[in-house]
Amino acid sequence: MYIDNHVHCEPDEFRGEPKAFVEGCRERGVERMLVVEPLASCLKLSKMFGDFMPSIAVIRMDTASPQDIADCIDAGCLGIKFIASQHPYADERYWRLYAKLAELGKPAVFHTGYLAPLYDWSGESPEHPVWTEHMRPMQVEVVARRFPELEIVMAHYGNPWFEEGWKVSWSKENVYADLCGGTAIHRSIRFWADLFAPDGELFEDAIVKLCFGSDAHLRAADQFPVEEYIRFYGRIYDAIGLSPALRELVNRGNTARIFGL
């Protein structure tokens, strides 16, 4: 079974019956999907999809307050997503946000690496471009050191700083990472196999910090973009000869524990 730790959905644009979509996912072995959207959308989606779709609230981190974080958690969100900061993630002006989340005992999801231009939630304009460098895994590493009690998931494995994503996720106890979205899927299986099993020898410290995720945009009840990621992860597992127990950990176990499912 799988828990997809990262999907998107515009509640007003989804076509078809949510119930049919949930059934289709369960037939494909997907027991839950964590949706990453602003709070208002999260609330609508949880009405539509029920327990199948717990949520992670995206906040605008340059204007949000610790109370905004508490409000999202009070409303039932399982964690907070940080993205598109005007300053590096490690900047002290964000520490009050991380401290609040740590105090509430809820995990942080950080977008790491490349972000498409003029991204909806970023507040980006031509005069104030997003700095992808602010979102490098090594920025998250500082947060992980400063807040060792905060559990962190680095979305997208730091693309294109995959080496940094690898280093930070296996060396920091409180940091996990996933291969969702972006272009991780366009790197060769041999590339990933070499990170998780260098020269063919399993590097367990790295693989145990991986989570399954797709970053799929859900648009219709009869479309299942998650399948592409089930195949992608499966090809990596096969290439490194991963045991059933560790497949289970990556596919659902890590996410279930981190988000308290």
Phi, psi (degrees; rounded to nearest 5) at 57: -85, 130
If the CB atoms of residues 112 and 251 are measured against Zn ion, the closer one turns out to be: 112
Residue nearest to Zn ion (CB): 215
The piece of 49-57, 65-73, 157-165, 213-221 that touches Zn ion (CB under 5 A) is 213-221
What's the CA gap between 193 and 74, in Å, rounded? 40
Which CB sits closer to Zn ion, 168 or 216?
Answer: 216
Structure tokens at 52: 């199948």
- Tokens coding 244: 């059933």
* Cis ω before 198 (30° cut-off from 0): no
* Residue number with CB closer to Zn ion (171 or 183): 183
Which one of 115-123, 133-141, 209-217, 251-259 is the stretch in contact with Zn ion (CB under 5 A)? 209-217
37 counts as binding Zn ion under rule CB under 5 A: no
Strand order in the sheet with 79-82: 210-211, 175-178, 152-155, 108-111, 79-82, 55-58, 30-37, 2-9, 216-218
Compute the least distance from the CB of residue 103 to Zn ion, in Å.
26
Q: How far is the CB of 28 from Zn ion (least distance, A)?
A: 20
Size of the site for Zn ion (CB under 5 A): 1
By C-beta, is 46 or 159 nearer to Zn ion? Answer: 159
Cβ-based nearer residue to Zn ion, 141 or 215: 215
Q: Looking at this protein, which amino acid is placed at residue 235?
A: R
Tokens 């905060």 map to which residue? 150
User: How far is it, in rounded angstroms, from Cα 173 to Cα 144?
Assistant: 9
4 sits near Zn ion (criterion: CB under 5 A): no
In the complex, the smallest distance separating the C-beta of residue 236 from Zn ion, rounded to whole angstroms, is 20
Cβ distance to Zn ion smaller for residue 164 or 215: 215
215 scored as a contact of Zn ion (CB under 5 A): yes
245 contacts: CB under 8 Å, gap ≥ 6: none
Q: What's the Rg (C-alpha) of the chain?
A: 17
Candidate ranges 123-131, 161-169, 211-219, 244-252; the one touching Zn ion (CB under 5 A): 211-219
- Residue whose pair of structure tokens reads 């490349």 in the numeric block: 114
Which positions lie near Zn ion, rule CB under 5 A? 215
